[in-house]
Amino acid sequence: MGLREYIIRRLLLFIPTILGVIILIFAVSQLFTPEQRASLYVTSEKQLEKIDVIIQTYHLNESIFIQFKEWFWQVLQGNLGYSHIAKQGVLQAMLRKLPATVELVMFSIPLTIILGIYLGVQSAVHRDKLVDHATRTAAIIGWSLPSFWLGIMLIAIFYLALGWFPPERIGSEAYNYITLSGKWHTYTGLYTIDGLLNGQLWITIDALRHLVLPTISLTTIQIALIVRVMRSSMLESLSKGYIVTARAKGLSQAEVINKHARRNALIPTITVSGLLTAGMLTGVTITETVFNIDGIGRWAAWSAGAGGSVPDIPGVLGFAMFAGIVYCIANLIVDILYAYIDPRIRLG
């Protein structure tokens, strides 16, 4: 079959799933009253004053099919409603807050995967020795921690007591420079990279300092997932016949592990990486709230009513749709990677 055909087939499967995501969001939205749903169709605060008009125009009281048509048309045009928390349209709000979240995740995900794979391999190769027990214990502890609690404890220890790593995204000095000085060019929206591009290294370093605790928070909890899968798949891989063959060919233990065992062991790990994305999306919601970072996660938490705010229905639904689509894309990538590494999948 080949990789190309497999990718095409997989893409064809992707589209109905995305449609399903949209339909499910719609179904959940139907649980709200028409008055609550009105803000899904507007783009500004003022328009909300005439709720009856909105209900009329978009047929919010009529049958499901008509409503779906109306709503779907809005979605295709990019109108996901008005978020009173962000004081903006939902789509605009998400785009504006995306960089903060991306910055957080772009360090956490690679760290989790690379460290997780390494620890998993070590754990399997030195089975039942100290490395193994220590890694597994640490992983299980990480997996058992409530993410919000870990965040709070980290802040209490490393910021309030020791003063090393502050929460939030950037210090006030850097923030003033970025917003007020007029010398700042926003290239990517990511302070770490933009700092370099603007030639202001201190801003990059400041941003990195602020990223340490949230990254640790996210990684500690998610790493257990990777370590566990990598360890068990590595153990299975090491017990297979081709390992003996490789050694009989005269390869060293290191070569056998790295060339033969690990590649096979990566297969289930790649699959699990999809779950990692889900964990990150969830973790980001809590972590951004605890660390007070202005990203999509915190906006979603506030939209849901965190901290006593009035629920922002377009916000919640918009974020759910975003999360669903991102997760689908992640699974798509994972499936393709999986086929790339394991020829048995793409060759049927």
Partner 1 sequence: MKKNSILTVDNLKVNFYTYEGIVEALDGVNLNLMPGETLGVVGETGCGKSVTGLSIMKLVPPPGRIEDGKVVFNIKNRTLNVLELEERILRKIRGRLISMVFQDPRSALNPVYTVGDQIMEVLLHHRRKILIKRIIDRLDEKIKEGKAGFLEKFYKKMLTIMMEDPKSDIIELTSKIPFLRGYKRLLKEEAKKEAINMLRLMRIPDPERVVDMYPHELSGGMAQRVVIAMALACNPEILIADEPTTNLDVTVQLQILYLIKRLREEFSSSIIYITHDMGVIAEMCDRVAVMYAGNIVELADVIELFKNPLHPYTRGLLESIPRPGQPFKSIPGTVPSLINPPKGCRFHERCSYAMEICTREKPKFIEVKKNHFVQCFLYQSKSSKKTR
Partner 2 sequence: MKKEEKKEVTTGFRYRLREFKAGMGPAIKELKFTLRRIRQSPLSIVGIIIIAIFAGIAILAPIIAPPVMRDPYRIFRDGFGMEPRPPGSPVSEPIAREKGWTVHYFGTAQGQYDIFYGCIWGTRTAFRIGVLVVAISLIIGILLGSVSGYYGGIIDEILMRFTDVILAFPGLILAMALVIALPLMWEVDVGLIFLIAAAFLTPVIILRVRHMGGLGVLIGLVAALAITAYKFTIGLSPIWVWSLQLSRLDKVLIALALVGWPSYTRVIRSEVLRVKQEDYVEAAKAIGCSDFRIITKHILPNAIYSVIIMATLDIGAIVLTAAALSFLGIGAPEGYADWGQMISYARNWIFAGIENPWQYWYTFTIPGIFIFTFVLGWNLLGDAFRDILDPTLRRR
Q: Per CB under 8 A, which of residues 244..263 are in contact with partner 1?
A: 244-253, 259-260, 263
User: In 3D, which of 317, 148, 312, 165 has the Cα closest to residue 218?
Assistant: 148
Six token digits for residue 228: 């566990």
From the list 52-60, 88-96, 192-200, 281-289, the region that binds partner 2 by CB under 8 A is: 281-289
Nearest by Cα to 228 from 278, 281, 268, 280: 268
Residue 143 partner contact from partner 1, partner 2, none using kind-dependent CB cut-offs of 5 to 8 Å: partner 2
Could you give the string, one character per residue 95-134, with x where binding to partner 2 holds by CB under 8 A and - elsewhere?
----------------------------------------
User: Binding string to partner 2 for residues 157 to 196, with x set by CB under 8 A, is what?
Assistant: ---xx-----------------------------------
User: Smaller CB distance to partner 2: residue 23 or 95?
Assistant: 23
Among 2, 78, 110, 146, binds partner 2 (CB under 8 A): 146
Structure tokens at 161: 């007591």
Query: Site for partner 2 (CB under 8 A): which residue of 101, 269, 273, 285?
Result: 285
**Is residue 308 packed enough to be buried (19+ CB in 10 Å), middle (13-18) or exposed (0-12)?**
exposed
Residue 268 to residues 57, 219, 233, 341: CA-CA distances in angstroms?
Answer: 50, 20, 7, 11
Min dist CB 63 to partner 2, Å, is: 7
Question: Which residues have a Cβ under 8 Å from the Cβ of 97 and sit 6 or more positions away?
Answer: 86, 294, 295, 296, 298, 299
Could you say which of 72, 118, 143, 175 contacts partner 2 (CB under 8 A)? 143
Which residue matches tokens 């999986």?
A: 338
C-alpha–C-alpha distance, residues 86 and 316, integer Å: 12
What track of x and - describes contact with partner 1 for positions 263 through 282 (by CB under 8 A)? xx--x---------------
Q: Which helix (H) or strand (E) holds 208?
A: helix 201-238
Cβ pair 60, 38 in contact under 8 A: yes
List residues binding partner 1 (CB under 8 A). Answer: 240-242, 244-253, 259-260, 263-264, 267, 341-344, 347
